[in-house]
Amino acid sequence: MARTVLIAGNWKMNKTIAEGESFADGLKSSIGDHDCEFAVFPPFFSVPFVSARLEGAGVTVGAQDLFWEKSGAFTGEISAEMIADAGGTAVLIGHSERRHEIGETNDVVSRKLKAALDAGLVPVLCVGETLEDREAGDAEPYVRIQLESAVAGLTVHQVQRMILAYEPLWAIGTGRTASPEDADTMHRFVRKFIESRFGADLAASIRILYGGSVKPENATALLGKEDIDGALIGGASLDLDTFLGIAAAAEDPS
Ligand code: PGA
């Protein structure tokens, strides 16, 4: 089953509103040169501005996190409904920086995933092992536990609306990338997991992005792999030319 390549930029805590708008304008004017889909995840403040600039362009604009309650006394938090109200249609869930820098547990990730689905957002569920687990040969069991916890109790219909991202912790922002073969092996493992729980059709259609030091130089090899359906890009997504360079490299079959 054909899965359209998705090139997604996670800006993390970068870019002012004006910088986000200017990036959005540039992206909008370059979209016609590419066959892939694009998504950007600006900081919360910029979501309404970036989504307004990208209106009608077919680019997904999402937030980097949410809180699972709809409203109430949760100082500093933002709900899924607020993201949708601001023009966001997607949200990153369980990014490794939230899991490991902020301390989000699998239980928290699962609540956030359900809140995103309930509000009609497209969740991009991030999973990925630590270096210790990879070196101990436990990468797959580690990722399996993250997946099991996140999708417990979800229906086929709900999982159909999700995107997955495999981001090995040791490859994020470090300049180290998983080899295309290792990444593809993990993507196949994730797809098999989805097949075992939700059936072959869903497993064949769900997109699994790779994230961790993706750049134009390694995108062709990574995205050339059968089970890698796109990229979730941090550092290299901040510069428009580099971001578009990744899309061009992903579209280059050589
Ligand atoms: P990176 O970040 O591309 O800077 O490694 C990827 C991510 O955290 O999504």
Q: Would 233 be classed as within a structural domain?
A: yes
Q: Is residue 176 part of a domain?
A: yes
Beta-carbon contacts of 98 under 8 Å, excluding residues fewer than 6 positions away, are 65, 104
For residue 236, is it within any domain? yes
- 87 domain-assigned: yes
List, chain by chain if needed, residues with CB within 6 Å of any ligand 1 atom: 10, 167, 172-173, 211-214, 232-236
Q: pLDDT of the chain along its 254 residues, tens only?
A: 589 999 999 999 999 999 999 999 999 999 998 999 999 999 999 999 999 999 999 999 999 999 999 999 999 999 999 999 999 999 999 999 999 999 999 999 999 999 999 999 999 999 999 999 998 999 999 999 999 999 999 999 999 999 999 999 988 878 788 899 999 999 999 999 999 999 999 999 999 999 999 999 999 999 999 999 999 999 999 999 999 999 999 987 65
pTM for the full predicted model:
0.96
CB hemisphere CA count around 100 (13 angstroms): 14
> Residue 39 domain-assigned?
yes
CATH code at 210? 3.20.20.70
Total count of domains within the chain: 1
The reported pLDDT for the residue numbered 178 is 85
Of 213, 223, 243, the one to substitute when testing ligand 1's pocket (max ligand atoms within 8 A of C-beta) is: 213
Identity of the amino acid at 96: S
Q: List the one residue out of 81, 85, 33, 93 whose CA is nearest residue 57.
A: 33
Q: pLDDT at position 176, please?
A: 81
Q: Which domain covers residue 88, as residue numbers?
A: 6-250
* Residues contacting 152, CB < 8 A, separation 6+: 110
Provide the token pair at 207. 């997109």
94 domain-assigned = yes
Q: Give, for ligand 1, the residue of 172, 176, 177 to mutate: max count of ligand atoms closer than 8 Å to Cβ.
A: 172
1 within domain boundaries: no
* pLDDT, position 86: 97
In a domain, 55, yes or no: yes
Question: Which atom of ligand 1 lies closest to the CA of 174?
Answer: 5
- Angle, vertex CA 63, rays to CA 99 and CA 239, nearest 5: 95
Active site residue 157: no
